[in-house]
Amino acid sequence: MKTRILIAFALVALVAAFAYTASTPAAPNKANTSAVPTAAPQPNTATATAAEPHPEIREAIASLRRAKEHMEHAAHDFGGHRVEAIRATDAAIHQLEDCLKYDRD
């Protein structure tokens, strides 16, 4: 019973993390833009790269890795849930990496 509650808690936390990263739009950093636009060279169409596929999934992986790092170095064990949460985070990272591997068709 305690294990089921722990697993449910970990899954809810992961779903919340994915929902947050998926709902947050990626916006460019406008602090580095100059007031006077400069002429940029036109990219060669033969060497131009396509946009990165699935940036949200890559962002979720990075977020999960940061959360795992935080849990591993935390001063407390989160009420006994730290080990299982780290395990669930590893599983989520692995699943997302597998998604990216199988999308290369």
Which of 41, 58, 69 has the alpha carbon at shortest distance from 99?
58
Q: Residue 31: CA atoms inside 13 Å, Cβ hemisphere, count?
A: 1
The number of domains in the chain is 1
Can you give the pLDDT at residue 92? 96
For 26-81, where are the alpha helices, taking DSSP H only? 55-72
Say whether pLDDT at 68 is over 60. Answer: yes
Is residue 35, in this structure, part of any structural domain at all?
Answer: no
Q: Which domain holds residue 80?
A: 1-24+53-105
Is residue 78, in this structure, part of any structural domain at all?
Answer: yes
Question: Scanning the structure block, which residue is given the tokens 């591993």?
Answer: 72
Is residue 33, in this structure, part of any structural domain at all?
Answer: no
In 10 A of CB 60, how many CB atoms?
A: 21
Is residue 92, in this structure, part of any structural domain at all?
Answer: yes
Question: Scanning the structure block, which residue is given the tokens 């396509």?
Answer: 50
In 10 A of CB 14, how many CB atoms?
A: 19
Tell me the pLDDT tens digit for each residue of 3-55: 777 777 777 777 777 666 665 555 555 554 455 555 555 555 444 455 678 89
Is residue 39, in this structure, part of any structural domain at all?
Answer: no
Is residue 94, in this structure, part of any structural domain at all?
Answer: yes
48 — alpha (psi -120 to 50), left (phi > 0) or beta?
Answer: beta
Is residue 45, in this structure, part of any structural domain at all?
Answer: no
